[in-house]
A and B are shown apart, each in its own frame.
Chain A
């Protein structure tokens, strides 16, 4: 029999490490939340299981409204995100502005949710930049109009904030999926058959693409319905979404509220499952509609207005995120800036001077946790991909564990995990934080690296083997260098995910390991807008630097190799 090389003997363990690192925290945390949800937590005097806590949840004032709001904002933002991402791809793919748009994706994606949400807010609120631009000259407003934004009762601002972040995420995955199907030729074929751009895309490409990004869509659905940081900044507050309520309950000094919070987390899990069921039904009906139209053979040739709208929507979302961020940068150096002045009356670096000494600690923590978790995740991912498990069942198990943290709402297992972290003595430390961050970082690193790794022509490895090279040599000298861009990008994605994590850092770090994100969200509640500008700017700049490096390092290393250019 062939002898196993040492590196690959280790690599064989990687999938099991991944499964362990993902399932143990999630399942243990889930158990730690389910038990108190049924009023069982002996340490707090809950000794007999009872549905009491659930009764308490439903007795909370306005709980029905909170639940409905979570369902509605989650569903609406996911639907819109999928529609816009697909529409932008269908209308833009292969057009003149396309590459420019694709280049904008990574920077936009690297903006953490909290910073993007805050940027959007200072852009569109009644006293925001857009209103200032046209006031008082056009509007006659000396004072901002009394309009409920953000926090409108239908959660439209919240939906907009979620869409602005989810569209680039889905788009990036869709573009990766386009590489795996023969997209350009399929589109040529449908247009040769006389179909319009959108119709051709919808009939031929979409079914194949959707299959590849389906899991991510469910993750978006789960995330949108349970997001805390975006909902705090942009969501309605009377009442707020269920996710925000849950965190309030969890932090309530009244011990009994722990039970309510746990039961609420279970209710939230139920809502997410409900959304999943609804989405499955939706998928079925969309397929039926598509088949119906395909039989009819309608061409929808004149779709100029629709494609134009999608392209416009894409640019608008990109502008909203990047413009909001630029605006925060201006705020960070502004002196007095009263309404309706479009630009500050004076500029000062006071906010930076004041923030910088305080920010160095959180920055260091952000880098430490981000680097460690992204590096571990990338390493494990590379080892898993280099030495795939034999057997479908095992691979399915890896996939299932990767899906777990993205589909189970954070609150459902973080509440329980917090108590477990304290019990095991791991609480508050760097180790506990890195372990928790890994739970969220790993799925995205896999999501990012796997398609690229799989799209590498396997014959390169065969050639190297035939040239007499061992598998280790092949991995280190052929596969890794050829895949350096996606590997570094996956690392940057992992780093960005870690840097942007709010709730896990807050609950497991117990605020003693503040990162730039927990600081930024804490400040968003009410601090000086200049200080928030400083934090939000840095919060976005850190992960962005990761993407810049992931682009620049391979570009410099292989500056003389045309075959290594970014696709």
Chain B
């Protein structure tokens, strides 16, 4: 019981192990406190991304997993992805190409926020906070690489996630930009008290994150 109390906030992974057939890909048992980062490192194809899929609720049926995921003490195992509110960022920004920049954000804002003016101002404020003011009506395809990455982050944050899952989100950025994005993501996560799981093969990412480190493969 005392153990559970400890995990009332943040992300808890209790005896999580993921297998592909007979092969054990990874096994984790840890707690990620709000605002802190768990970094999972390993070579490509080691299966490290499956941990994010398991937490997010979209693990491919080819894998078998056991263990429990708790977010702020709530058991997420067996819930659908949309019930988990685990924001995810991939190495590609994956902005929806048929919507404007603002449209991408509006789509992400929870439907509990009802009035259009309120939704609009949330989106505009978030964009302004990322030095993207004036981009609301822009076509996402016409943004620079760094701008796209920030819109993707902004889109995730306006959806009011309870945890942040990062799948090598900095690997496609050039080194100057990479540094900026790392700082932005980690500081915003700290500011908002979001537990973060970062999957990467870049040791510099792990250094910048500064939290627990799990190495697999």
Contact = CB atoms under 8 A, between A and B. Distances in A.
A457 B155 CA distance: 18
A460 B82 contact: no
Contacts of A481: 98
Interface in B103-140: 107-108, 110, 139-140
Interface residues of A, number: 28
B189 to A, nearest CB: 15
A560 B108 CA distance: 21
B94 interface: yes
Interface string B49-76: 0000000111001000000000000000
Nearest to A391: B61
A358 interface: no
Nearest to A468: B82
Interface in B36-55: none
Interface in A423-463: 457, 459-460, 462-463
B78 A460 contact: no
B142 interface: yes
Interface in A450-480: 457, 459-460, 462-471, 477-478
B116 to A, nearest CB: 17
A563 B107 contact: no
B200 interface: no
Contacts of A562: 97, 139, 141-142
A561 B141 contact: yes
A482 interface: yes
Contacts of B26: none
B81 A564 contact: no
Interface of B is mostly: loop
B85 interface: yes
B80 interface: yes
A2 interface: yes
A563 B139 contact: yes
B98 A561 contact: yes
A1 interface: yes
A450 B96 CA distance: 20
Contacts of B9: none
Nearest to A481: B98
A452 B141 CA distance: 20
Contact of B98 (A459, A471, A564): A564
A467 B61 contact: no
A467 B159 contact: yes
B159 A563 contact: no
Given A468-B159, A558-B98, A463 B82 contact: no
A564 B86 CA distance: 28
12 contacts: A459-B90, A462-B58, A463-B94, A466-B88, A468-B108, A468-B110, A471-B82, A478-B96, A558-B98, A561-B99, A562-B142, A563-B98
Interface of B: 56-58, 61, 78-82, 84-88, 90, 92, 94-100, 107-108, 110, 139-142, 155-156, 159, 161, 165
Interface of A: 1-3, 390, 457, 459-460, 462-471, 477-478, 481-482, 484, 558, 560-564
Given A558-B98, A563-B95, 13 more contacts: A3-B80, A464-B107, A466-B56, A466-B82, A466-B87, A466-B165, A467-B82, A467-B156, A468-B159, A470-B82, A484-B98, A560-B139, A564-B97
